[in-house]
Amino acid sequence: MYRILTPTILLITSLTTNISCNVLRDVEQEIREDIFDIYRGVAIKTKEITGNNVTKDQMKLRMFRNRPEPTKLVLNDTDLHLLRNTKGRLVFITHGWTDSSDSDWMLNLKEAFLTKYPDDVVILVDWREPAGKLYYISSINVYDIGNFLAETIEKLLDEHDIKPSQLLLIGHSLGGQTMGFVGKRLQKSGRKLPRIVALDPAGPLFDIRPADKRLNPSDADVVEVIHSDAGTFGFKDSCGTIDFYPNGGNMQPGCYRVDISSLPGVKEPVLCDHRRSYHYFIEAVPHPKDYLVAVECSEWNVLRKTCDLNNTVALGDLTTTKTGEFYFNTNRNFPFNINHLGQPRGFIDAVESVGRGVKNEADEVSKKIKNGVSKLSSGVKNLFH
């Protein structure tokens, strides 16, 4: 029996190991595209039946500036000339699911920019109605909102003397994915955004999408991603040119774990990790060089504790063109910064924590592989009984 079983297993192993990695990647890509097409079709049909198609008037642009005088107004296409003489950047900020531009974090981030960079103009992009649908519908609506915002930006570039280098796009959760679609649309007209900042970009229903249907590193010259709830509400894998993983990318200090099946009204603790991305960023904007300093490190390097402590970048540095995965540690509560004079202090605790998480995940995968091989062996053995 074992004389038959052993060569059979060896044959299966040989065939498996000879499968090209490129072929496997192609198959995975096709599967992702098929799954995405199915769920996109369901969402679009639901929108058609319920009359919930997105229109441009469901996107509101709230403009704030300090110079030449403090200004606050809702922009439409006929008001875009007001932005013609902007000396600083146009900073577009948008929200995610069930949120709006009235939220404290958007107003606080707006204030952080106007205080640190008084020549900037901040535009809060409000799409609360399309963002307030069932999640699987709102996750499709980001495509429409991204296109509408791209149309407005194209008008600014074509008709009002705004330069692409003046643009900065920031989005949280579904808003991070939205800004990716803005970048894709602009590239069709030969422009590329200089920088997108995605604050824990949404993961559910985007993790099954092919790369060209979600935020990816090609959406701007620099795609900066802050992962604070990776694998839950946030996108798990690196999807930017530079990816920040505070405290390992999930389970943020000071965020309490709750059983969402047994407690009503637990929105705040459940979303705490997801929201920490914008709390960290708001705190970092006024300190672009020496605050919340992150260290380059890969998962393998984390396990070996060989992170490059000489390659650092501050979270609020909006000029960096560095690439890779960067890690930093935080306090449990505000102020979150634990660095002193730019030196990563207390970072090794975070490194070790991430390392344990990666090792546990690797052990779990190893167990599944062993179980799979065991079942395969049993099946082959029964086949020859």
pLDDT in tens, 254-279: 997 655 444 444 455 579 999 999 99
Structure-token pair, residue 333 = 């509560």
pTM of the model: 0.77
Catalytic, out of 120, 126, 144, 200: 200
Least confident range of 46-55, 130-139, 164-173? 46-55
Give catalytic status of residue 200 as yes or no. Answer: yes
**pLDDT over 90 (residue 192):** yes
Q: Are 123 and 61 in contact (CB under 8 A)?
A: yes
Least confident range of 49-58, 108-117, 174-183, 275-284? 49-58
Catalytic, out of 138, 139, 173, 238: 173
**CA atoms within 13 A of residue 308's CA, in its CB half-sphere:** 10
Phi and psi (nearest 5°) for 165? -65, -15
Q: Are 326 and 294 in contact (CB under 8 A)?
A: yes
User: What pLDDT shows up at residue 40?
Assistant: 57
Phi and psi (nearest 5°) for 243? -115, 125
Task: List, edge to edge, every strand of the sheet that includes 293-296.
Answer: 71-75, 60-65, 121-126, 90-94, 167-172, 193-199, 220-226, 242-246, 324-328, 293-296, 308-314
376 or 320, higher pLDDT: 320
Give catalytic status of residue 173 as yes or no. Answer: yes
**pLDDT over 50 (residue 10):** no
Catalytic, out of 243, 274, 279, 317: 274
Give catalytic status of residue 26 as yes or no. Answer: no
**pLDDT over 70 (residue 173):** yes
The predicted model gives 164-181 an average pLDDT of 98
Considering only CA atoms, which of 307, 60, 62, 105 is closest in space to residue 226? 105
The amino acid at 212: D
97 or 4, higher pLDDT: 97
The amino acid at 8: T
